[in-house]
Structure 1
């Protein structure tokens, strides 16, 4: 290596301040080249041993050697002498430097000791599950083929039918496993990238990078990377000529007895400290408000930590910046939805896991997915969408009413079909599940009024499906079985109006939050429907609700001046 100054002599020294390689003869020339800096010249073998103090943002010629704990920033001696940090708690930057390095080292140790080995094992486990599925399916396929040969031509149709069913089961499970494997590989890539960047920070003497470091260990620990699949099994039966279809055999699914993932989950729980549990604040705090300019603000959904979608005035959807208060500064994108009838209900919106906007309007009788590549539409024909949400599995849940015919009012009232309401699950734009009746065959979502009621829908973290239909909240499990109904809670005269549930959302604790329009508050109930408390922060007519990844609550106020969205902190 050659000297960076003379370009000819062999490198012997190094300036840790300027990161310049020097020969012995050029040390003096470099020292006087910029006398404003405190040059730390060391032997080349000891390079990068001197901490590089960050430059002060307020005083360009000064280096920060202190740290203001109150402001959470490095500061220089000139900053200390100024009035800006009077009475603030100040410590030496070197002390904070050592503390931060220790934190990074601990995080790297946790990832290498617990998280990385766990993911390596899961990849092997996923591959083994795929091999077991392949082997089992081959065995069953051979059994079906041999039995089919024995039964001759009369049962060929039955054999083909079961082979097709088995292939569908296999393909479905292979798709699930492959998708899971790709997700795990992406997680491993993220972990490796995080480890590399963390180790680069440790090896660097740039303290600015060090203090920009934010630990992601808790985020990596939150994932639940295991997957359980059910293996198909075949049960042959004795044959009778008149009962070929029934007695040939059936395909069923049995749980894989492999318990690798359960042990992995237990290992993570034992070796990795859990993040502290969050609790409800006694008095929620209003963090900021967003001016949307809407006369009738209806629905909101967070796109990310910095942006939020809002719908209002019956046909407008706009994207706002959360950190800007004024309308002109916060508005990012705006577009109108073409509808046939202006006063036909609110415009419902949701966001998929990929960030695609989903919107629907009762008059349109369809659900629109604004995909970045190719937009898609789900036609609902005789049903009017009254609410939509995206699930943890990236399915869409739509609450919809049967399209009541106009004209003969009495005929409409006599036709019970005119008042049907149901929840439909769409996966890859295909209808996969319908939830409409309880175990006794009665409607889960009774609608006795000729006029549509405004409805909202969400999925809880425990996969329950929660619907607010304007009078009651109906909660069913993932299979569509009724768990409970919540019809309000009025412990004091302050909240003594009729319960009017509008927006509904769930949080990290599986609490269900419900906007009560008439009582001007938000109800919080637990996953089993037990009332916990109210949130009352000066709302007028709360409608839409959403929660960001930092567990902040956003409330869309239907009648608030200028269509305000309130950002609230209600968890500690």
Structure 2
């Protein structure tokens, strides 16, 4: 390329060293190079290069014509004004400005454009596509959450309707009872008056007969009763009941129903760092997640008299404390697929006995078919193998005995702490408090197929019991009353074991009520099992409860030394004999693990055929 300030007879020199004739040309940088300078030029790794023999270079760009001096070309570039200029412009308006060769400037500008193109193609555009995917995912998840909130409001409204109906029916019943009492008093008064009228009629007839007979004997023996009848019967005064409706304050009613947390919308900057051409392909994006990793933020639930309400969850939290929104769908196909049919064995077989070392052993939960978590009469929970070896130990944060334990589908331990009213997750031996209750005491817990937690709990005053579903720390469902507003579970007692069946029924062993209470996934009452009518020394007292792959319900009849096996509809199938059974669980192979309260041992029992 001919230097614009050299004559046609000049030797073409390297633009870098300006001493040696050129041999090559960098088409990216638009610079001519000698052999020695090529190597130095390629060492600059901050940009890409394309060096070709000078004769094979692309055609030289045409110099732009000067817009003010049409007979001139713009050979120079004014750094101050940032425009190409011709020689006449320099002496006219650009005197004293910093000038450079327009083609060199073209080279640097070309490099800048190339860098912009590379950054746009490899960093910025892919990030926009990724962000668009994330936003689309968030939109879908948020739409689902708003749908849950709507359904939660509907279901909470249904609870209110049922309660109002129950109140109205109770008042109607009270009115009928008052009317019955009032009518009974009036009927009695009517009977007394009728009797007196009958007597008066007889007395009048007798007097007339005596007077007509003119019989001295009858007249002399007559005794008057007029004074008796002059005392008229007492008048019954009744103050009729009246109905005094309370004035409905819409604002107070809305507050009692529950509230939504305010919608909070914030923005944060996406960031990336351009390090070098090699790093272009993998810039770091601040807090950027893949669409699969993006989740919708928790939504603070409505607080409500009962659906939500209790317990109050700290940091809440989320739908939830709404009454009973639809239950989160199951993740695992295992919860819906049909397992192989396994008939009951004619004679269950005891496979193993594990000595746990506890004086009193209460609960067991399977981590695998070889390892179980146990809870006894102290603050330590132990993971044991079949040889009774302690593989891991966890102490409660409160220092008091835990109440219920379960193992999640991810293999993490969950326990309830009655002393401080918490539900806790143990992950990598670190205890995380998931839920903190106020006014309620958590009892037993089970991990659902949806990865939710189902917790039984009693109110502090011992008058109420219920089951609450949690998705993480969010309360998503409360199960407490049937369709008529009657309590599903007995009050004032601690023993209510819980398990979710394969058909997603929720099964509670209610010892005080002497019954197993089963509701469906939505919390609607299905049936109540109160024991088989066989003769027993003691009444049916269910303690531990579990379910298996066949949707059987198994519950420990503690004082009768039996385990009842029911089908999913509550029909009795058979007994398994066991000495003082207490806590139950079933592993993935449908082996039954039973805690024997006073022996401190876990018994492993096979009760299903492994092959048909």
TM-score (norm 2): 0.44
- Structure number with larger C-alpha Rg: 2
TM-score (norm 1): 0.47
Q: Name the structure with the higher helix share.
A: 1
